[in-house]
Amino acid sequence: MSRPAMTSLQRTLTALGHQEPDRVPFFLLTSLQGAPELGLSIQDYYARAEQVVAGQLRLLAKYRADCVYAFFHAALEHEAWGGEVLFRADGPPNAGPPVFRAEGIDRLQAPRIDGAPGLQRVLAAIRELKARLGDTVPIIGVVIAPFSLPVMQMGFEAYLDLLQDQPERFRRLMAVNEAYSAAWANAQLEAGATAICYFDPVSSPTIVPRATYLRTGKQVALRTLARIQGPTATHLASGRSLALSDDLAETGTALVGVSCLEDLAELKAAAAGRFSLLGNLNGVAMRAWPPAPAAAAARRAIAKAGRGGGFLLGECHGEVPLQVPEAVLLALGEAVDRWGRYPLDWVEGEAAL
């Protein structure tokens, strides 16, 4: 028997409460796709908040997803710290050269949110999305975690050297970054974001050992998430998370974006009602999928993690690649509509999972 239809926000909150809504929430994190929808280059698209709003609303209607994504691109935060944004025609903008070296940390000051034009465009887009959608659709804001932000600020190799060899400077950098990240997250919430996605790929055991995370990234997350005045989701951007399940639960995050490299059933068991899961379709592989295998992948994911709520279907990186065919994204939405409706009676006896 079908359940009464819910709004996207109601559906999402029910799932995050580890209950079964009318169907599995479909979180299609499309950001770049708004540019071709409007016939614009990626650089021109992100130049004006109203264009991003128009793109997100078109994508919402087209793919019948359950959220809008207020994320522009990660390099906007690099720009806020004085860095350069490198645009490309077929993918997300990249961060330019590092903005400081280790010795610069001694006098480092965080940028003001109201003094960063790129961040202000994001806030303008969030305010307009909130005005258009009200409380019907989740509006997802994004902040790069203080522990992962230095990859752009000073470069990956220099940051790992700092992490290992200069504990005092590392602590000072984290103090400055934590204040900035909390302020940026709270500005988005004040503008109308429903929740904040805390992107923290460096914390994944794919990048640093768990022992390192326990004394660094976890402590940063505990302090920073406590300062964010709204719900948060932690995303490790394709990095593995299973070994950190207990640790992530202790940070108080409501949702974890999980990798396609790990089994959804194992991840769901490890979450154990303490946090929900978002994932874990392979966004890179999706570029070459025909529609039928895409629908089958969505069906398998729902079968593995959908029962009992606590699961949102999406891809595993936090941004759908621009090269994923439109037909594949449409097929995913159709699969959720067909296979994601509760109760998931068809899962009983499901074979070949």
Which pLDDT value is given to residue 154? 98
Does any domain span residue 1? no
What's the rounded Cα separation, in Å, for the pair 271 and 163?
29
- Domain containing residue 101: CATH number: 3.20.20.210
Please compute the mean of the pLDDT values over residues 25-50 and round it to a whole number: 98
What does the pLDDT average to over 320-349?
A: 94
Q: What is the pLDDT of residue 3?
A: 79
Question: Would you give the distance in Å from CA 42 to the centre of its chain?
Answer: 20
Mean pLDDT along residues 267-274: 97
pLDDT tens-digit profile of 164-178? 999 999 999 999 999
- Report whether pLDDT(231) > 90: yes
Contact (CB, 8 A) for 71 and 319: yes
Beta-bridge partner residues of 234: 198, 256
Does the pLDDT value for residue 242 go beyond 50?
yes
Kindly tell me if the per-residue pLDDT of 351 is higher than 80. no
Number of Cα atoms under 13 Å in the Cβ half of residue 226: 8
Q: Which residue has the tokens 């999972």?
A: 353
* Structural domain includes residue 353: no
pLDDT at 69 over 60: yes
pLDDT for residue 348 = 64
Tokens 């050992």 locate to 209
* DSSP 8-state symbol, 353: -
Say if residue 350's pLDDT is above 70: no
Confirm whether 68 is domain-assigned.
yes
Q: pTM for the complete prediction? A: 0.96
User: What's CA 219's distance to the chain center, in Å?
Assistant: 20
DSSP secondary structure letter of residue 4 = P
Q: In the predicted model, what is the mean pLDDT of residues 80-95?
A: 97
Total domains in the fold of the chain: 1
Does any domain span residue 101? yes
Residue 85 makes CB contacts below 8 A (sequence gap 6+) with 73, 75, 76, 78, 79, 93, 94, 95, 96, 118
User: Model confidence at 2, in pLDDT bands (50, 70, 90)?
Assistant: low
* Domain span holding position 217: 8-347
Q: What per-residue confidence (pLDDT) applies to 352?
A: 39
Instruction: Identify which of 318, 333, 231, 310 has the alpha carbon closest to the alpha carbon of residue 264.
Output: 310
